[in-house]
Structure 1
Amino acid sequence: MKKLLIGNEAIAFGAIEAGVNVVTGYPGTPSTEMLETIAENNIDEKIYVEWSVNEKVALEIAAGAAYTGAKSMVAMKQVGLNVASDPLMSLSYVGIKGAMIVYVADDPGPFSSQTEQDTRAFGKFANLPVFDPSTPEEAKEMVKECFDISHQFELPVILRTTTRICHSCSTVELTGEIDQSCIEGFTKDARWVIFPSLAYKNHIKLEEKKKELSHIFSSSRFNSFTGTGKKGIAVSGVAYTYLKEVIDELGLSLPVLKIGTPHPFPDELALKFLNSVEDVLVLEELYPVVEEQLKELSLQCEKIPGISGKKTGHMPVAGEYSVELIRNAVCEFLQIPNPAQQVSQIPELPPRPPVLCPGCPHRASFYAFKVATKGKKAVFSGDIGCYTLGNAKPLEAVDTCLCMGAGITIAQGLHRVENDTANIAFIGDSTFFHTGIPGIINAVYNNTDITVAVLDNRTTAMTGNQPHPGTGMTVMGKEAPKLDIYEIVKACGVKCIKKANPLVQKEAVAAAQAAIDFKGPSVVILESPCVVNIKGDTPLAVSEKCIGCNKCIRDLGCPAMYMKEGKPAVEPSLCNGCGLCSQVCPVGAFQPLGGGNNGV
């Protein structure tokens, strides 16, 4: 059966057909749909699937499953790999018994990430095999190969994709057949306990495995060397798909080295390519991984070819590639005319910066703390989630943002130098469970005078509303214990804990003020569901009472509001009737739509 799938779905079906037993992960764009697709198609529930509290936990669970001889898979985005790096680095030395794929989705651009880091480089650092697909179809085919290599060499294998592979569509063939390999079970053995002496011996074994893998990868169907000529192109990942389009468009014939397994590098195949050409252009996202490997190998050539790419300034060092970018690079490299570009008739669109949704409770939470700290010296430490958007005007309530869970600990560092400042750390409910709790414990242990605002909208909103330990639901739709953030914070030793509904501003401001005035660590839990998951109330409208002070627009920046004839107006199709504007208005000019002049 053939089916139109995005890359994440193709990988998921590849894992299902390969007989995966355990799948774990933490939501992170652009990787999220892979695990969700397995959960949705896990009809007989023979596969164990879970959203774990963070990537480190997810990887360790997948590793434990692989210790038994099972096939496991763990999913995350590239910054999630940072969280999982501690167990992964050790796991490459300990190894596994069954088979294990570490699925990591990189985000060139970046579109929804803090970094543009390249997992191929991480694979080299961790001494682990890396597969880098160029299409969704190839990504699906690579899954079985990853499991096979993992089992053969008793190592986790990294399957690295990028945003365009994850979210682009292709027609993918599904066999419907599922591998039914037998799980041996866990066997007690000294190999599972990592000691320095064992690590030393295993490091030597790892280096030998890398040599053997390099030899195997030189004949892998995912690597190829085609064409003849003196000017050749080496390419990896989605850039290969773009290059094929350019070659077809321009009718080119030239040597192309396609790399689908960037680590260990297929040295034998690459040397054949290098010995056949005089000049090479390397096309790859994001780091010069292939470029550096080719330069190192070129020293073994009788005549060293010229190698151009990121390190020579011929290709961009940041951002994702496109057909247009590669066409320009290839034409310049080959010194051939670049086809005239069609003049676009579409006018340049105005920029559309990301913004909190109309009616988002986070807006109300930020505003409550802005009111509570008016006239005070205050610094707002943010975190990773929808609420990072609180940094934009007019709220300007996120002054720092580093990584998940860091808002709470950054605030503590700020306070230790400037203790005359009110330090407020904002963190979402999912991030609280992910990496927020250690920071709160640290603040209690060291009696650090900060206020933590937990923005509890009862979901993992930014990545598509996945469940977490506070929602009472698993990814498989089963009921689960609903962990209470208040009780957890209390158990951590926090003495001042306040709860409030941010959409009831008097209540939220009072809670914020009480927490800020408390000497010592304090927590405010602001509870209101994500606006995407609830049915809104009647939209509001602006009545004739409006005096045109524009406080509602100036203070809140709700996208449902705009200016019309010098006064605020409301777009009813966007407004969900959260009522925040009516609590800000000094004259009570807002009322339910249909109750008067709505200004629209």
Structure 2
Amino acid sequence: MTKKLLMGNEAFAHAALEAGVRVVAGYPGTPSSEVTETVAKLHASGAAQGIHVEWSTNEKSALELLAGASYCGARTLFTCKQVGLNVASDPLMSLNYVGVKGGTVLFVADDPGPISSQTEQDTRRFGNFAKVPVLDPATPDQGFDMMKAAFELSERYKTPVIVRPTTRVCHASTFFDVAEETHAKPIPEEGFEHGPRWVIFPKRAFEGHGEINERLRAIAVDYSTNPVLSAFNPVDERRVAGQLTRHGIVAGGVSAAYALEALRLLEERASERGVQLPSYRFWQVGTPFPFPERTCAEFTKGLADVLVLEELDHVLEDELLAFAGRTHAEYNTHGKLTGEARDRGENDVDDILARLAVYLGVPELAEAEEATTYDNADPKQPLPVRPPVLCPGCPHRGSFYAVKRALGKKPAVFCGDIGCYTLGNAMPLDAVDTCLCMGAGITMAQGFSVIEPQKKALAFVGDSTFFASGLPGIVNAVYNGHDFTLCVLDNATTAMTGSQPHPGTGVTLMGERRKPVSIEAVLKAVGFECIVHADPLNLQQSIDAAREAIDFEGPSAIMFESPCVQLFKPAAPVVLDAQRCTGCKKCITEIGCPGIGFDTDARGPKSGERGQAFIDAGQCNGCGLCTQVCPFDCISVVDAASAASEKKEA
């Protein structure tokens, strides 16, 4: 064993490997991506022996692959973020009915906020809906233990098991003792055993449903009595001599860690000010589904009130209400449903402290004695809003701009998709009208073309998303003859989630290089007759290509091809000639690159009192798009040939 400082996701990968996982598959999505990436790094270094790891084309493909491996007896790990589980829901719902052989753990990272997602959906709800057990860690340390326990639980009951950390647990860091080398658990000698249990006919599904119901009842008991699993549901009590404990506090996930810290601060403040806190009982629910009712019965005994602290949905609150109804318990439940806890987004220590102070009858302890400010900042003044923008030099900026230039005054609707390019909705580009879910832009554009044929419908999709969920939409377009233009923003990576490879790159996590899957070949194969190519940083070329595709009747495609700025070394910043700048601001108002600023105090022979643009050398990567936008040739590229050569190599 060796001690390492690890991010939560890195630690979860080590835990799965130490548990003997043999096959790991998923699709990248923040905040889950580092689990699979860590497994791949450890495999490449030789530290993880006997495993297969891959980024699958999407979550559905990943889980189906793992189902096959599990049927042979291999321990398998699936990774995704909360919306990714939607894509995998089809196989998951049936897999639970069929059952598994090798331990099958679904690592599904939820994103309260949301910080980088379309939704705040709660995977605990999904586990209940799918009738799949859920483990919900409060800290990376607990998540490490839960990952190992989840494999054992899965094999004991032949069920998939969900481990559901949230963003702060995934990305927090601490020290772990981890094995220097791991080996996958051996496959049982018999391997896959043929039999009717693996074929989900109606009769098998009926039997499977009964098996599910029986094992959920048994797992709920295990959550309360099994030494390993019950440790994830600790109960603690603070007693005041001669006083009955009438207040209960229930928390799940990272909110349990926040609540414990808030209680510690309250105790500290109470001691300093000579205030007496009432007795209270605290319960962390680390196994929210199936709900550990035996522990709940012990916890709620004698309580008059229970405050529930959790992120996203009122899952634990619902369970406590239902338990009180069934058992005619006398406690009152407080939380999201009563307006006494946040109804969305992330919790934090300060907010929970304030709510606990009111709940425990000591509201005066909610305020610290002295507020700390930094750098003479006025705490009453809000921080400036910094909206997300495309990176300086991002090729997507050129793609959006060229399409709008090509359209001119022609009415159009721009259907976006999931990825960095969703930021094309921001001004001044204003080129994304819709964004629903991965791949939806392609088929939504077809819907617009049916109802509003007077408008040109365009769909923007990234190269990774094209493979993940765009294929059915392009087939639908050809089959039904929809008139729309597909804009493929091919930057040679899955940029938004950390630059992971995809089928179009030919790079795999096992270290092998495959022949890249050609998007153009796929489009031709399904029947696209108009496919044009352009470098989005070559403005005129891109405008001409866009016009050709837009004017075509029927499904057409523009392949905008230029690598992500994260994949190559930046070129020298462009140079702006202050003697020629007129202060027209077109370089700013047309493309909105953060590498260009404007100095209202600058003066020049042609700008007069208007101010002048300037280049932020710390951000500009020399892409040269602005040089083609400036109407007065004030901006020029330094050593353009060298920059183009470096990009081509990247």
**Which interval holds the TM-score relative to the shorter structure?**
over 0.9
Equivalence map 1:494-505=2 (5 Å): 494-505=528-539
Match of 2:624 in 1: 579
Deviation at 1:3? 2.1
SS in 1 for 2:69: helix
2:572 pairs with 1:545: no
2:174 to 170, 187, 202: 170
Deviation at 1:297, TM superposition (A): 0.7
- Matching residue of 2:231: 221
1:93-143 Cα offsets, whole Å, 9 max, x none, are: 011011100000000000000000000010000001000000001101111
From 394, 400, 405, the equivalent of 1:366 is: 400
CA contact (8 A) 2:137 2:165 kept: yes
Instruction: Give the C-alpha shift of residue 180 in structure 1.
Output: 5.5
CA contact (8 A) 1:271 1:301 kept: no
Distance 1:501 1:378 in 2: 22
Equivalent-residue separation in structure 2 for 1:73 and 1:24 (angstroms): 7
Aligned residues: 595
> Paired residue for 1:36?
37
- Answer yes or no: is the 8 Å Cα contact 1:17–1:176 preserved in 2: no
Query: CA distance change for structure 1 residues 181 and 535 in 2, over 3 Å: closer, same or farther?
Result: closer
Given candidates 120, 137, 148, the residue that maps to 2:141 is 137
Q: Deviations over 1:482-537 (max 9, x none)?
A: 11111111001000000111111111111100001000000000000001111222
Q: Residue 556 of structure 1 aligns to a residue in which SS?
A: coil
Q: Does 1:292 align with 2:318?
A: yes
CA contact (8 A) 2:22 2:184 kept: no
- Give the 5 Å matches for 1:220-299: 220-227=230-237, 229-251=245-267, 254-299=280-325
Query: Quick one: which amino acid aligns to residue 251 of structure 2?
Result: V
Distance 2:491 2:472 in 1: 21
- Which sits farther off after the overlay, 215-224 or 518-527? 215-224
Distance 1:345 1:215, change over 3 A: same
The separation in 1 between residues aligned to 2:498 and 2:329, in whole angstroms, is 53
Could you say what secondary structure the match of 2:503 adopts?
coil
The letter for the 2-side match of 1:571 is: D
**Which residue of 462, 465, 487 maps to 1:453?**
487
Match of 2:218 among 212, 217, 238: 212
Which residue type is aligned with residue 540 of structure 1? V
Q: 2:553 corresponds to which residue?
A: 519
Between the aligned partners of 1:592 and 1:401, the Cα distance in structure 2 is 35
Q: Residue 301 of structure 2: SS of its match in structure 1?
A: helix
**Separation in 1, partners of 2:535, 2:193:** 52
Contact 2:624 2:637 in 1 (8 A): no
Aligned twin of 1:8: 9
Decide whether aligned partners of structure 1 residues 79 and 305 sit closer, same or farther in structure 2, where only a CA change above 3 A counts.
Answer: same
How many Å apart are 1:338 and its aligned residue?
2.2
Task: Return the letter of the residue paired with 1:199.
Answer: A
Q: What does the per-residue CA deviation read over 1:225-284, in whole Å, with 9 as the maximum and x for residues that have no partner? A: 221511010111101111111122222652011111000110111011122311000011
Unaligned runs of 5+ in 1: 596-600
Q: SS at the partner of 2:590?
A: helix
Name the residue aligned to 2:53: 49
Q: Measure the CA separation in 1 of the matches of 2:551 and 2:198.
A: 51
Question: Is the contact made by 2:138 and 2:257 (CA closer than 8 Å) also made in structure 1?
Answer: yes
CA distances 1:189-234 after superposition (whole Å, capped 9, x unpaired): 1111101121112111111111100100012111122215110101
Displacement, 1:583? Answer: 0.6
- AA in 2 matched with 1:340: E
Q: Is 414-423 or 179-188 further displaced after alignment?
A: 179-188
Matches within 5 A, 1:173-572: 173-176=177-180, 178=182, 181-184=185-188, 185-219=191-225, 220-227=230-237, 229-251=245-267, 254-301=280-327, 303-336=329-362, 337-341=364-368, 342-346=370-374, 347=377, 348-543=382-577, 544-564=579-599, 565=602, 566-572=611-617
Q: 1:15 to 1:537 in 2, by over 3 A?
A: same
Which residue type is aligned with residue 4 of structure 2?
A: K
- Residue type of the partner of 1:548? G
Equivalent residue number for residue 598 of structure 1: none
Q: Is the 8 A contact 1:275 1:302 kept in 2?
A: no
Residue type at the aligned position of 2:231: R
The TM-score, its normalising length taken from structure 1, stands at 0.97
Distance 2:329 2:616 in 1: 68
Q: Which secondary structure state, in structure 1, belongs to the residue aligned with residue 422 of structure 2?
A: helix
Q: Which runs of 5+ in 2 are unaligned?
A: 240-244, 268-276, 603-610, 641-650
State the partner residue of 2:164.
160
Secondary structure at 1:276 match in 2: coil
Contact 1:275 1:301 in 2 (8 A): no
**What is the rounded CA distance, in whole Å, between the counterparts of 2:182 and 2:506 in structure 1?**
32
* C-alpha displacement of 1:303: 3.9
Is the Cα contact below 8 Å between 2:21 and 2:185 reproduced in 1?
no
Structure 1 residue 311, shift from structure 2 partner:
1.0
What is the aligned partner in structure 2 of residue 124 from structure 1? Answer: 128
Amino acid of the structure 1 residue aligned with 2:442:
I
CA drift of 1:593 comes to 6.0
Secondary structure in 1 matching 2:365: coil
Question: Hey, what's the Cα distance between the residues in 1 that align with 2:329 and 2:30?
Answer: 44
Determine the C-alpha separation between the residues in 2 that align with 1:366 and 1:464: 22
> Distance in 2 between the 1:232 and 1:193 partners?
47
**2:272 paired residue number:** none
Pick closer, same or farther for the CA change 1:218–1:167 going to 2, 3 Å: same
State the partner residue of 2:27: 26
SS of 1:299's partner is helix
Report how far residue 172 of structure 1 moved.
2.0
Q: Does the CA-based 8 Å contact 1:11-1:143 persist in structure 2?
A: yes
Q: Are the equivalent residues in 2 in contact too, given 1:233–1:255 (CA < 8 A)? A: yes
Cα displacement string for residues 445-484 of structure 1 (whole angstroms, at most 9, x for unaligned residues)? 1110000000000000000100000112112332112111
| Identity over aligned pairs, percent | 50
Instruction: Give secondary structure in 1 for the equivalent of 2:499.
Output: coil
Counterpart Cα distance in 2 of 1:66 and 1:198:
19
- Which is worse superposed, 340-349 or 309-318? 340-349
Q: Which moved more, 1:481-490 or 1:222-231?
A: 222-231
Instruction: Read off the aligned partner of 1:209 and give its amino acid letter.
Output: R
Determine the C-alpha separation between the residues in 1 that align with 2:296 and 2:335: 16
Residues 282 and 291, structure 1, Cα contact 8 Å, conserved in 2: yes
Per-residue deviation, 1:402: 0.3
CA distance in 2, matches of 1:452, 1:358: 24
CA distance in 2, matches of 1:402, 1:213: 37
